[in-house]
Amino acid sequence: MIKAVRTATLFTAIAALTALAGGAVPAQAAEHCRVAEECHGPLPQICKRCSDGRDGCAHWACVQHRCVIAYCSRR
């Protein structure tokens, strides 16, 4: 029982660190998307400084028909 709790805690910590490092978070959406509105799921509460100097916060984007977490607008 204690080993299972430690494993779950370790997994949670790894997932949190991955999100903080800007890693991918699995989308809870259709396998293939056409628009970002088809993508759903939890988003990290993180904003990053974009190349244009503005802040971009985590949001869903549909890139090459896959749901991904994006931070900056693609212009």
Q: How confident is the model at residue 73 (pLDDT cuts 50, 70, 90)?
A: confident
**Is 75 inside a domain boundary?**
no
Between CA 10 and CA 54, with CA 67 as vertex, the angle to 5 degrees is 90
- Does residue 26 form part of some domain? yes
Q: What is the pTM of this model?
A: 0.56
- The two tokens of residue 59 are 């949001």
Q: How confident is the model at residue 32 (pLDDT cuts 50, 70, 90)?
A: confident
Q: Which residue has the higher pLDDT, 72 or 73?
A: 72
**Which residues span the domain enclosing 30?**
2-70
For 8-54, the three-class secondary structure string (H helix, E strand, C coil) is HHHHHHHHHHHHHCCCCCCCCCCCCCCCHHHCCCCCCCCEEECCCCC
Number of structural domains in the chain = 1
